[in-house]
Chain A
């Protein structure tokens, strides 16, 4: 039996002081400049009471106005409630899905995983509208269906309610993102520990509870923190389903200040600071949990087995459960979305000749479309590769106990997760315009990719960090004893072992870059306009069907990228 030896003290134990310090301080300076300073500007700006362009006058009025605005505290409470209520079942389901896909012999796991990937990138706005078509108390398809039953009187479902929002969220954001991040680390687990537990008489549930989950705690906790804050910031679904029933969330308040005329960025930043406080509290507990005598290493140089847990006949029941969930939460609304993109008016089946190819045709014939597609593909590719290179290196430094600024480095990496997208975009705009970068990247696809790489830092860094925590120190030590240089070791041993995570976050960042609107909105020019801005224009002007077609096209591109990845040999990362 191989014991889970190593600890947080990872590969760099024998690293010479100088290179690590140079790397550490280089990254620190970069992150301070790219993330710390803009945050400082924003916070300072939130105390500036003067009108734009006028000499600064400092005071607390913006903060007072923000927090005394009627409804702010109620909205904060509602966001908290929604976030918690969504998070708990979603995390349980995500861990279960990831475990079934990566650690058991459930058939079709790869397909379920692929579906999760595609589901994550289906645009949420038309998907929410699809749920409205299904659940609306007056005309919803499912309500109409159940009303025809003899024992049902009135509508059973109502999307314009607290539970309606929770349900739709489970479909749009729900478990997909979490499964995507968890599956690679579950795969890395290896079967050694589970075999040992089985020999000791543990059943499958005990094994999962006592072995698998504790060892994978860094990633599960990181995903929980990411999801909780993401839940607090959630906005689109609440806007469509909450406003009609008077449910306002905290992000709606921030949005209001951001879009008020004249602008009220000071108030928006003041409200946004709550996310910073929440993050600080969560990070404190996260770090406290990871520190101490915890063991998370699952990949060592002493042998590695990927044998899966055998579920027996339960594997078909598990597959049926997964398929049922996917069918209800994804395929049902997705079907409506696909149909919607071919309808003259989304959801109106009773008009004359309701179906048309015009939206697809008009979208493809739009002269801006091809340029935007090219721009988006460049931006997404650069973002994916750039994010992998940058954050794998930073994560490498973070897991090393030789870095003296790890908490600061990690905190800086979290910043984009607590800044509303438009404020992040504004801060990157300041960064560009205040430095020589303005001459090279402002208004270009490279500038947008740079901003998106910054925006991806929390997820990417945490994913790599969790992956690195699983690797034993003996791997690198063996390589060094055999005479390998650090670069060689990194390239031939660490990187291949990190490949599953790199592929996962790379694809995720590729997809996010294709769909992100708030980050490029202040940075694009006519020449560098990406598809997401085109999507914004379609949505803003009520061209919903064309937006649905474009959203589906983006989903298809991401699906194609996954297939290409597999064809090119990325399947080695799967087993």
Chain B
């Protein structure tokens, strides 16, 4: 018992100590980190192909710190293979990962490719809890150390072309099973990993196997793996209901005057929040640790997150970012209980199980 008390005391004191040192010395640490980063000269960031990074983030960060960003873009499965092979040979080329929740939790974290990020947060406006809706930087991993979640947006359930579908006609999830919509719904192919499979897994976990079969098979939901194809079908009205269209793809069409409506709430299913477009982590044995630290802090700053929040239309967790440009539906409402699609337990367990079951239904159905 005594040992336990001592252990708890150490943990508590250690925790206080860490918190104290972070807030007390952060400005000094930050200045030192920036100096060190400038000497390193560059930071290597791995992520999905990303126009915001290419067109906005790289110029801004380089202009501010004089540090170059080398952005290596690729599909998650590919770049994890590459990193794994490099590491097996003792080569460490990556400093920072901007990856999706699956890759962050099930690959980078699980394979121990990343270092705790929490001790490296030093930029004053990042460590200042008042700048965050959650009162502090939100770490998604169970140790509250490794993977930062910087966004929390309400995800749309579906998009409709109102010239063909009235909003009243799809108020409840079961409305999608109306024979009127047979062949009129499109979805990202749920039989392979991706947004389509994630949504189908959720539906499977909450409404069961029969509903999945009814929706994807009996309703002759038109599947594709090309997101542009879905958005075009939605705009033309060929398939006026789209389950997995992306907000950033649809926004230009709305500006063009297409009558497209994004639906965030639907009866029979809880609304969903997620951490899209990325989660942030620091590579261990990074070749440019100081530059990595500066980039990780900066991307969590107002300037950094604002680029992504605007570029992708995602609601960030910072309090000082203007959200007037967002679709109000994207911003989580107080008091509403959402299903968290980026929840750790769901990502590492529940989704995978539901996905396997759902695949069995769809591939044999």
Contacts and interface: CB of A to CB of B under 8 A. Distances in A.
A244 interface: yes
Nearest to B90: A433
Given A243-B223, A368-B54, A262 B81 contact: no
Contacts of A84: none
Interface stretch (B138-146, B153-161, B186-194): B186-194
A525 B55 CA distance: 18
A573 B77 CA distance: 45
21 contacts: A53-B88, A53-B111, A256-B192, A259-B193, A260-B192, A263-B77, A263-B80, A345-B252, A348-B235, A348-B256, A352-B256, A352-B257, A442-B91, A443-B93, A536-B74, A537-B50, A540-B49, A540-B73, A542-B227, A542-B231, A542-B246
B236 A138 contact: yes
Contacts of B229: 240, 244
Q: Choose among B84, B93, B111, B225 the residue with the greatest number of A CB atoms under 10 Å from its CB.
A: B225
A543 B231 CA distance: 13
A443 B73 CA distance: 14
The 4 nearest A-B residue pairs measured at CB: A526-B70, A537-B49, A433-B89, A70-B363
Interface stretch (B100-108, B289-297, B337-345): B100-108
B219 interface: no
Contact of A138 (B70, B80, B235, B238): B238
B71 interface: yes
B307 interface: no
A52 interface: yes
Nearest to B191: A256
Nearest to B256: A351
B80 to A, nearest CB: 7
B89 A537 contact: no
Contacts of A260: 77, 192-193
A244 B235 contact: no
A259 B256 contact: no
B51 A243 contact: no
A540 B49 CA distance: 7
Nearest to B220: A246
Interface residues of B, number: 57
Given A71-B363, A138-B236, A348-B256, 11 more contacts: A136-B238, A243-B223, A246-B223, A263-B77, A345-B252, A345-B253, A348-B235, A522-B78, A522-B82, A526-B71, A542-B246
A542 B229 CA distance: 10
Contacts of B50: 537, 541
A542 B249 contact: yes
A537 B52 CA distance: 12
A261 B77 contact: yes
Contact of A533 (B73, B93, B191, B238): B73
B232 interface: yes
Contacts of A261: 76-77, 102-103, 106-107, 193
B205 to A, nearest CB: 18
Interface in A123-154: 136, 138-139
